[in-house]
Amino acid sequence: METCISCGMPMKKVADFPSGDTSKDYCIYCARPDGSMQSFDEKKEGMIAFVMREQGFDKAAAIKIVEQKMRQLPAWKDCF
């Protein structure tokens, strides 16, 4: 099992990879429609929206949660 370098999602099946391309080190949720990986800002905004929607946090709390998580991910290690 691989883990997405951009969001940390476990990638267990081929469908978890962009276009089923298991050579990618990021998941379908971190890919743009053309299959390239989203930028830092795109991913951060998406993760903030996800945390607010799925976990019920307000925006300020969601930002803190997302920034803490992103600091731990290989794709964003040089962005903070």
Q: Give, for all 80 residues of the chain, the pLDDT tens digit.
A: 899 999 999 999 999 999 999 999 999 999 999 999 999 999 999 999 999 999 999 999 999 999 999 999 999 999 98
Determine contact, residues 42/29, Cβ cutoff 8 Å: no
For the entire predicted model, the pTM comes to 0.90
Domain count within the chain: 1
Spell out the alpha helix ranges (H) of 33-78: 40-55, 59-71
Range of the domain at 46: 2-76
Q: How much is the pLDDT for 60? A: 98
Q: Which two tokens stand for residue 2?
A: 């691989």
Amino acid at residue number 27: C
Q: What is the pLDDT of residues 31-48, one digit of tens each?
A: 999 999 999 999 999 999
Q: How much is the pLDDT for 80? A: 87
**CB contact set of 2 (below 8 Å; sequence gap of 6+):** 10, 11, 25
